[in-house]
Amino acid sequence: MKTEPLLTYFEKYLPLNEEEKSIVGEAFKERRVKRKHFILQKGDICKHHTFVVEGCFRMYLVDEKGKEHNLQFAIENWWITDIGSFYSEEPSRLYIEALENATVLQLKKDDQIKLFDDNLKFNQIFRVITENALVSAHRRILENISSTAEERYLDFLKTYPHFFNRISNVQIASYLGVTPEFLSTIRKKIVKS
């Protein structure tokens, strides 16, 4: 199992001893996901925290008109989870789809609770991960309500330069809340200036 990237990730927050590393190996399960396959679909209950070892994912909502709205992308060393469904155990409104062939490590809720109960260090690490995700969500909300589409695009370029060879312009436009045509217009304007 490819736990090394996850162990390295955790150790950015707190060092792990050999027993704690072994616990990670027992709690997380490796899963391979083919491109265009789902790890979550609307109506399912999100049963895992998912850490991306290899590959790229998107989490999105499909509205009543059939339009897709990308909420999140995740690549190596990122997490992707419908946190609301995971904790409430209610059916999700979201999809999580692999944009590339991928390998993930998944943690079930019961295993997470046991991890937290048995070792305070993991509780602390996940608290920081959750706090960082909340800060990121607030930042995105603020951008969406106070920035122009062009400013959001420029910020996306700056913040996520590693996404551009992996995610289509259609996906980026959806994430930014604009049409692909409007994104094309923004890109042409930026190139000319």
Decide: 52 and 79 in contact? Cβ < 8 Å: yes
From first to last of the 193 residues of the chain, give the pLDDT tens digit: 689 999 999 999 999 999 999 999 999 999 999 999 999 999 999 999 999 999 999 999 999 999 999 999 999 999 999 999 999 999 999 999 999 999 999 999 999 999 999 899 999 999 999 999 999 999 999 999 999 999 999 999 999 998 888 999 999 999 999 999 999 999 888 888 7
Three-state secondary structure of 27-91: HCEEEEECCCCEEECCCCCCCEEEEEEECCEEEEEECCCCCEEEEEEECCCCEECCHHHHHHCCC
Q: What is the pLDDT of residue 1?
A: 64
- Which residue reads 């897709």 in tokens? 68
Task: State CA 161 to chain mean position distance.
Answer: 16
CA nearest to 169, candidates 156, 152, 149, 183: 183
Total-model pTM: 0.93
Q: What is the pLDDT of residue 2?
A: 83
- The C-alpha atoms of residue 70 and residue 177 are separated, in whole angstroms, by 8
Contacts of the segment 10-16: beta carbons below 8 A, 24+ positions apart:
10/122, 10/125, 13/124, 13/125, 13/128, 13/129, 14/121, 14/124, 14/125, 16/121
Q: What is the pLDDT of residue 84?
A: 95
- Which residue reads 């589409």 in tokens? 149
Phi first, then psi, for residue 101 (nearest 5°) are -60, 140
